[in-house]
């Protein structure tokens, strides 16, 4: 099954961008393929892991810090990252990607990162990401469509 999972903390400014974007585009995502499951994992990696089954295709939507232009949408397959995401983890937990790879079998993981401008206390996005919000939503939706179409031979289910 294809599962689109949003991570982040909406109380930490741009860290919540993945959650806010997926909430905005959820109906459009479900139109791409009605069997997609949308999961709002926030910061609860154990909840996310419990929603992953062997043979799933996981698309993680989250804020990123690749030191590129804020608002840039980056789409990467975990298999193409040469361990790039395996080394990242929060201060208090191992990373979701590490847990998926350690505890699940035959999983494909894709990462759609939205470059953050500011991560600080606050429930609003930075002005920079707010001004680009529609463009960011379109970029994330396009990334999801590209991944799904590559799995279905270009056919929308």
- Interval 36-51: pLDDT, tens: 999 999 999 889 999 9
Query: What range does the domain containing 7 cover?
Result: 2-151
Phi, psi of 12 (to 5 degrees): -125, 55
Quick check: is 156 in a domain? no
Rounded CA separation 26/37 (Å): 10
Considering its fold, how many domains does the chain have in total? 1
Which tokens is 95 given? 């990373």
Would you give the DSSP letter of residue 100? H
In-domain check, residue 36: yes
The answer as to whether 157 is a domain residue is no
**Does 117 map to a domain?**
yes
Write down the H helix ranges in 1-157: 17-32, 45-50, 96-103, 127-131, 133-151
For residues 146 and 143, give the distance between their C-alpha atoms in angstroms, rounded to a whole number.
5
CATH number for the domain harbouring residue 99: 3.40.50.1450
Would 20 be classed as within a structural domain? yes
Q: β-pairing, 108-115 with 73-77? A: antiparallel
pLDDT tens for residues 90-128?
Answer: 433 457 877 787 878 889 999 999 999 999 999 999 999
Does residue 122 lie within any of the structural domains? yes
């Amino acid at each position: 099954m294809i599962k689109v999972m949003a991570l982040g903390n909406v109380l930490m400014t741009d860290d919540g961008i993945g959650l806010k974007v997926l909430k905005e585009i959820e109906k459009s995502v479900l139109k791409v393929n009605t069997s997609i499951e949308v999961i709002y994992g926030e910061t609860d990696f154990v909840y996310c892991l419990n929603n992953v089954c062997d043979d799933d295709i996981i698309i993680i939507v989250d804020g990123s810090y690749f030191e590129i232009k804020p608002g840039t949408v980056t789409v990467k397959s975990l298999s193409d990252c040469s361990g790039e995401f395996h080394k990242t983890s929060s201060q208090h937990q191992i990373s979701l990607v590490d847990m998926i790879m350690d505890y699940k079998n035959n999983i494909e993981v894709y990462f759609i990162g939205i470059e953050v401008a500011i991560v600080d206390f606050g429930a609003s996005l930075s002005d920079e990401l707010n001004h680009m919000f529609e463009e960011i939503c379109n970029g994330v939706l396009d990334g999801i469509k590209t991944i799904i179409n590559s799995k279905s031979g270009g056919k929308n289910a």
